[in-house]
Structure 1
């Protein structure tokens, strides 16, 4: 059987654009003379549609578009299409919407497989909307029976996971149907098709492939997975669609982080070469670039603003923005005060020259002085401190938002995950913006990504990478005045924020003083109110700030 995996980048709610894209890839599949073209989960309406699913008009539009797509398959010789979409539930009880894989063939919706396992953890909230399938059924396409599954339906293999999350395994049920008809199935190949919208985070593609490989070997089946690619809000989908043969070898693979069409034939016995090592830094870079590009463009914008301080965080964000949108669509703004070093100003200029972006210098000395003058009657007799320090980023935030309003450019925030974790950031100041590009990137990883940017030539000035990090909000300030060194801090934060380890576990695991660990964890707990007012964060680790990490603000936690 010849199948095409159509790894596309849909936009949530863009039925016209998504339909055009589906038909484009369907036509490419027709040119390749395939029997079936497989599209990702909810490709018709985009994933995740969230509370749009509660609008009956949205669901009705998805059903209408699905029927229109089916009409394309009416012409002789055209392949069948397997499209992820939403449909109204048929039951009089339970949820009102179904997450389905619709088999479009010979001009009609010939078969519908409903999703059975609805994830309700991390960033997933599908039990809020969908009615789970009561059963799974094999369906024949091109004379071959297919076991059709939707994303999570393939993620409950007891032979792979140490603990199953669900009491049923849809794939196991489908394979059981195969075994009940041995004579009818004689000579036929086992093919498991999975349509997915599986988000990226560091290490996820490798886990996904290992899981699918275990599934293929256990059931002696071809496993073909088509995954969505692109950014939708905080989520980045890497694609990485692939086919695993019954012997566990990779039979076909799509590129990661870009649209692709991959054709494979079950009669082809050749395996695809697999890289022995995965460059996680390169993958994270690609994810951040794709997430930034799609967030800006899918929100209807083309240009962005980045406040350039001469520091490494803003430099990395600017480099990502240029890669994502082009230098002509990025504006860098330097806003120095009396505490900004001449070196930092020059580093910002040099970065702008290297990136070939427009750079504007707006000194804020006078504005800062005027703020202090207005506040002097109330601040009289108090020492210069945090209030005065935070006035500076708040002035910068105000200016950036004024430029955003004037020129229709989105502001990209430049704070990293280490800062967001500990609250080492200013609410309504450097946190102002539309997207926290590196809000899921620890400071130590910021350095690794910056060196990756410079792998061919100097883009981010080496002076920026090598100098001690500083917010430059008071004379001779360094980050280490307020925080442990990042090489000590980041492993503590990773263990607490991403793995939920206790202070005692972290101290023992990392060989650091438990009192130091507790002081860091207290910073994390006290800063929840800031994080819940932050811009959306591009998710690139297993646990990011945002909808996948839900904690109360008003709480007293013993650390």
Structure 2
């Protein structure tokens, strides 16, 4: 047999809707049959979805999957074969659980012909395979002979997600399967997205192909799921590597593709153009926002506090792209500290977007609170107290509008602010969703330019005005005063410490060698680099101070809205922290 026709299906599972998912899979199987496909590949945990928490251990959910496989899916696989991700259990004669596996079920000829169990469990970030599943035994690994039309047979090696990533492991599933005669490797995945993930997947897959010498097909789910504090994106990225080269889908399309994959020996390489991070980020956040609202039980509209600064401007643009202008209300909430510049910017952005725009001054309420506190305490409130009163009143007003409009508040905080705790509990740390919560400050600016390259929505001053909360005279943007950080130092330090897991000492060494990543450590608006502004001593001290600030401020992050994970390590249940251990 020279080749095989693959129907790669980046399926979107509806969480726990086993029977509904199975019926939708049958529709895809019929479509594949009409296209004369030999093999349909669905993602990992396609029958249930991946992020189910402890529902993975519900015996009834597993029994429903078995029934759906036998009664709905197997009969649809008489004339086409399929690989489907599901949970399988083994029980003893008395019904006691022996093992539970993250599995791939192979169907052909109207029946189950093989079950593959995930050997290398994923236990990193939001993934907790070992909490729910037992690892498959390497002794159980074997290819399966899949009968195809015309009397042909395909010896197929099935891998489940992490099984592909075997560098440094004692077991090498891909190699073992090809040594047993597999002519094609099929990898089913529920692989969470982050900005570097598509490239990493291709790199690891190419390494396996080079080692094994056989073609490989990779199929990922398309979905937004969650683990509580984090919204997890599955981008539907699918690709095939063969003697014909590399073919791949665009993330987020979610549309099945048909590939004719030759079975000739192959080693690569498989060059591919790299997508720009800002473009990937824009697509990811728009998809995530849209899916979040679609799945949020009938609440379809959004409310945003629009200040005229970069964060709220980018959030408003993202939400408009995701939901439509008619579903977004932007509210400007000025006090005497808000400049005419930022007020004007907020109005211009709202007009350019075509959204509902409200101006709701809060100066009178803040003044009343301030006077009441001064009367009771016998002295004026501290500056920080006054700042937080303003932030909390803004949050109160936004929540009231959301209640009145049947909408949800979308928060505007970014990852760099969160690492400092530069946010007010029950003030700007409110909302159902924080889209930029895993996006550092400099990337927010880049995202704004990506979303609006010609300046049709975001006025140029949005990118040049000093970042500021505008809560006191010390944050007067017209005098060039704003947030108490140099974001060209603060933001990259956060990425290095959190996402790259660097230590202050290692960062100092990189600084001294002038080896910091220039794509991250970009010059500021005056053209100055970090090497121009700091010495090795002050740089290491800054890194230590940021690391301490991260530990101190977890009590705020644990009470913040969920964020959409787009980095290799996000605040929430991706980065595990403690309240008392910092």
- Do Structure 1 and Structure 2 share a fold, with TM-score over 0.5? yes
Shift in Å, 1:27: 2.3
CA distance in structure 1 between the partners assigned to 2:122 and 2:475 by the alignment: 46
Gaps of 5+ in 1: 179-188
CA distance in structure 2 between the partners assigned to 1:515 and 1:481 by the alignment: 23
Shift in Å, 1:499: 2.1
Q: How do 1:135-534 and structure 2 match up within 5 A?
A: 135-141=140-146, 142=148, 143-156=153-166, 161=167, 164=168, 166-178=169-181, 190-233=183-226, 234-245=231-242, 249-250=245-246, 252-267=247-262, 275-300=272-297, 301-382=299-380, 384-477=382-475, 483-510=484-511, 512=534, 513=538, 514-534=540-560
Q: Deviations over 1:297-325 (max 9, x none)?
A: 12223211111111110111111111111
CA distance in structure 2 between the partners assigned to 1:499 and 1:279 by the alignment: 20
* Other structure's SS at 1:85 match: strand
1:131 pairs, out of 124, 127, 134, with 134
* Residues 121 and 74 (structure 1), Cα distance of their counterparts in 2 relative to 1, 3 Å cut: closer
| Contact residue 95 and residue 131 of structure 1 kept, 8 A | no
RMSD of equivalent CA atoms:
2.3
CA distance in structure 2 between the partners assigned to 1:523 and 1:31 by the alignment: 59
* Residues 456 and 140 (structure 1), Cα distance of their counterparts in 2 relative to 1, 3 Å cut: farther
| Contact residue 242 and residue 263 of structure 2 kept, 8 A | no
Shift in Å, 1:5: 0.4
* Other structure's SS at 1:86 match: strand
Q: Deviations over 1:429-462 (max 9, x none)?
A: 1110111101111100000000111114422222
* Other structure's SS at 2:347 match: helix
| Contact residue 99 and residue 130 of structure 1 kept, 8 A | yes
* Other structure's SS at 1:7 match: coil
Shift in Å, 1:58: 2.2
Shift in Å, 1:476: 4.6
| Contact residue 230 and residue 290 of structure 1 kept, 8 A | no
| Contact residue 206 and residue 269 of structure 2 kept, 8 A | no
Q: Deviations over 1:87-137 (max 9, x none)?
A: 233368877532111122233333221111111122110100012212212
| Contact residue 293 and residue 324 of structure 1 kept, 8 A | yes
Shift in Å, 1:30: 1.4
Single out whichever of 481-490 and 355-364 deviates more from structure 2: 481-490
| Contact residue 73 and residue 105 of structure 1 kept, 8 A | no
Aligned to 2:525: none
Count of residues paired in the alignment: 535
| Contact residue 303 and residue 410 of structure 1 kept, 8 A | yes
Aligned to 1:181: none
* Residues 72 and 401 (structure 1), Cα distance of their counterparts in 2 relative to 1, 3 Å cut: farther
CA distance in structure 2 between the partners assigned to 1:112 and 1:85 by the alignment: 10
CA distance in structure 2 between the partners assigned to 1:203 and 1:279 by the alignment: 10
Gaps of 5+ in 2: 512-530
CA distance in structure 1 between the partners assigned to 2:6 and 2:66 by the alignment: 24
2:50 pairs, out of 47, 50, 57, with 47
Question: Is 1:70 aligned to residue 63 of structure 2?
Answer: no
Shift in Å, 1:55: 2.3
Shift in Å, 1:240: 1.8
| Contact residue 339 and residue 476 of structure 2 kept, 8 A | no
| Contact residue 232 and residue 291 of structure 1 kept, 8 A | no
CA distance in structure 2 between the partners assigned to 1:507 and 1:85 by the alignment: 47
CA distance in structure 2 between the partners assigned to 1:337 and 1:62 by the alignment: 57
Aligned to 1:22: 25
CA distance in structure 1 between the partners assigned to 2:263 and 2:352 by the alignment: 48
| Contact residue 471 and residue 478 of structure 1 kept, 8 A | no
Shift in Å, 1:370: 2.3
Shift in Å, 1:232: 1.4
TM-score (norm 1): 0.90
| Contact residue 332 and residue 359 of structure 2 kept, 8 A | yes
* Other structure's SS at 1:413 match: coil
